[in-house]
Chains A and B, each alone.
Chain A
Amino acid sequence: MNRQRSTFLITILCFGYAFLYIPIVMVVIYSFNDSRIVSVWGGFSFRWYLQLLENRQIIEAALLSLRIAFVSATVATALGTLAGLALARMGRFRGRILFTGMIAAPLVMPEVITGLSLLLLFVSLQDLVGWPGGRGAATITIGHITFSMAYVAVIVQSRLMSLDESLQEAAMDLGGRPFRVTLDITLPIIAPALLSGWLLAFTLSLDDLVIASFVSGPGASTLPMWIFSKIRLGVTPDINALATVIITIVSLGVVIAGWLMFRQEKQRQRDVQ
């Protein structure tokens, strides 16, 4: 009985994972395909990777994406940390749940709506104050900051919730002023949470197509935007190679973030003892 159920479970599990990963594995495999026709296997080769390196458009789009991701993740981490600290610090006040909920709302907001509202904001700002002069890298960065900041704030706040408040009180008791205590005690202890927040913001930004498409201007194409425009003309094998590179980078990010969170959880359990 028990054994039967376990084979049944394993079968389901295999189906689930196959469903998730076979498309990705296909992309990776076909990126090494020597044939020009995507769906026909023509032997193993690195030629699409080499071709990637020669394609200036791809390189430029990739660099732009990385730059935007780096800047937006950094700013979002700073702002999100401040928001998380403020929410956790203010203690129990009326409407706290509302504020906590409001900071998490962008997480569930459809991207189309976020993109559209940001576009409207930029357009009307331009009419009112003449800034931003045109849409491009700067507006994409701002767009990415707004939604990834929410992720960072949620991560930081939940870490702070589980932080023993008496640590900060003890530091104050020993003569640390509240601001110094945040620098000396709070931030170092929650540093792993900040780093995983940063990595999450970074991958979210690399990933984003919808918001970037809304708020970008003619000059600036991020990597996902470039790929999307290319796909419309048909899939070429070099896109498989590009996708494989992106998959590698993103999974590295996710693995590092996960490892950090795991280590932090273990540390927390040790602190509790």
Chain B
Amino acid sequence: MNQRNHPNHIEHDHVDLSHESYHTDHDHTSHHAGHDHGALLGAAEEIPAVFSQTLFLQFDKDMTENAICALLYDWLTSIQHWALFHHHYIGHIKIFAEFEEGFQLWLSATGREISVKNTAMKLPKNPVRRGTAAVTAIVFGTDEASLKVAVLNGWEETLALQSGKAAI
């Protein structure tokens, strides 16, 4: 499997790991997909917010595998930056993207380096115009609505930074 560590390494040393920084004042039962662990865990900060959705990706220009890889990498970086900037603790952020001709990318981050893998070990022979991305972000210290905005805005902003245009 291919693994690529992007030079744009994210440092973790500005994250405050004291317990106070993970305190949340949101409802513990509504934002974590039915995961009813509050009583067992005994600590509010152990219940994370979850974003989990499949997005349809449509590009209005031909994309190479490298361009797609960079786009998804930058998107994941933007979500990670958002979490670190707000002192949220990243459980796991992962993206599994599938494109034409069986091209697949698995990206994952736990707050440090982002790993990228070509799971099917296939590269598209032709330029790519569309695909899907299953995204799961599990982050402590925030709520589901803020996490959703961070993930979706992150995508829009990443696209805006690209020279071409694409839409979900």
Whether both chains belong to one complex is answered with no
| B interface with A by C-beta (< 8 Å) | none
| A interface with B by C-beta (< 8 Å) | none
